[in-house]
Structure 1
Amino acid sequence: MKKAEALTLLEELGLPEHIIQHSIAVSEKAMEIAKQIQAAGHPIDLETVEIGALLHDIGRIKERGIPHAAAGGRILREHGLPEVIARIAETHSLNAFHPGSIEEKIVCYADKIIKGTQEMSVDDRFDIWMRRYGKSQLLISAKANVLKIEKELSELLTDG
């Protein structure tokens, strides 16, 4: 699948425009990170990163909040997309926090530092969530996981 096809799928399924714009911003940030890691000598499937990032929130057509990640994985499988793309949708959410592949980690991280279409730090992003939803164990744990991913990605940039 190419970028234009992914965007067409989002539009055909009726994903709201602001979520499509968020997905584009996440994809751009994820690709920036992926290309830097690749340039440091690590193998990265750039197409998987780009398409996975564009489609990571597709589950929002059926679910709001945390359950959208699992819904996204189901929708992507129903549309015949590869398992690697479905897993990106499933592993980017706060509760399904088990990104395993480097591509999953890149998209998950990019999603957490992009609010709408604006980039911000992990601390700022989680401060917003904690003010809005309370300082729950879920958010505390998720923040620790995102910071761990941030550290892993940073180390890949410096050990190439």
Structure 2
Amino acid sequence: MKKSGVSDEDLEHCIKVAQKAVEIAKRTTAEVDIELIARGALLHDLGKSKTHGIEHGRIGAELGKELGLPSTITDIMEKHIRGGLTEDEAKELGLPVKDYSLKTIEEKIVIYADRLVDIITEGIIELKDERGSETRFEEIIKQNIKYGKNDITTRRYMEYHKEIQSLMKT
């Protein structure tokens, strides 16, 4: 990541997302590929070595393909933008028109962890109450357009939150 030009701040974010994603995955009852989750989360923002724009997911996936990463990882990199876009949303945002929707639980855990880390590191939740980012997730996403972006994206994040929380061990 460093060799590709990812900033220290973005690298720190990716490490936190990987740690959070693995922690979430271990708390679920789902059969998940922990290594895929860790690697996908760690590399999800590789495209920020070139841009912080909406296309960083696509660019990161292209860079990942050049590095020989498997499609399971490059899919996470490409599709993490706004939690997975529809073809119409991609067209509206000027991205190649295709379905970017998240299909696997691993993809969903990574994007969920990405949102949670943003909420935690940006001070919405006190660090000592990290689990509060999960309990208050719906409220935070609805109240902070920065995290939800728009109604469609907000609904998508809510669905991932509910699905993943339903898989949590009691």
Asked if TM exceeds 0.5, the reply is: yes
Q: Which amino acid aligns with 1:90?
A: E
Deviations 1:24-51, CA, capped at 9 Å, x for gaps: 11111100111111xx2x2110000001
1:11 to 2, 8, 12: 2
Q: CA deviation at 1:65?
A: 2.4
* Aligned partners of 2:17 and 2:42 also within 8 Å: yes
Question: Quick one: distance in 2 between partners of 1:27 and 1:117?
Answer: 14
Question: Quick one: distance in 1 between partners of 2:57 and 2:42?
Answer: 13
Q: Which amino acid aligns with 1:19?
A: D
Counterparts of residues 1-160 of structure 1 (less than 5 Å): 10-37=1-28, 40=29, 42-94=30-82, 96-97=84-85, 98-115=101-118, 118=121, 120=133, 121=137, 123-124=139-140, 127=144, 129=146, 139-157=150-168
Question: Quick one: distance in 1 between partners of 2:57 and 2:111?
Answer: 11
Question: Quick one: distance in 2 between partners of 1:55 and 1:44?
Answer: 18
* Aligned partners of 1:31 and 1:46 also within 8 Å: yes
Aligned-residue Cα RMSD (Å) equals 2.3
Structure 2 residue ranges without an equivalent (≥5):
86-100, 122-129
Q: CA deviation at 1:86?
A: 0.2
Deviations 1:85-108, CA, capped at 9 Å, x for gaps: 001111111174311111000001
Identity between Structure 1 and Structure 2 (%) = 33
Counterpart secondary structure, 2:165? helix
Counterpart secondary structure, 1:31? helix
Counterpart secondary structure, 1:147? helix
Aligned length, in residue pairs: 141
Q: Which amino acid aligns with 2:105?
A: I
Structure 1 residue ranges without an equivalent (≥5):
1-9
Q: CA deviation at 1:58?
A: 0.4
Q: Which amino acid aligns with 1:143?
A: T
* Aligned partners of 2:5 and 2:50 also within 8 Å: no
Question: Quick one: distance in 1 between partners of 2:154 and 2:118?
Answer: 15
Residue 11 to residue 112, structure 1, CA distance change in 2 (3 Å): same
Q: Which amino acid aligns with 1:82?
A: P
Q: Which runs of 4+ in 1 moved over 6 A?
A: none
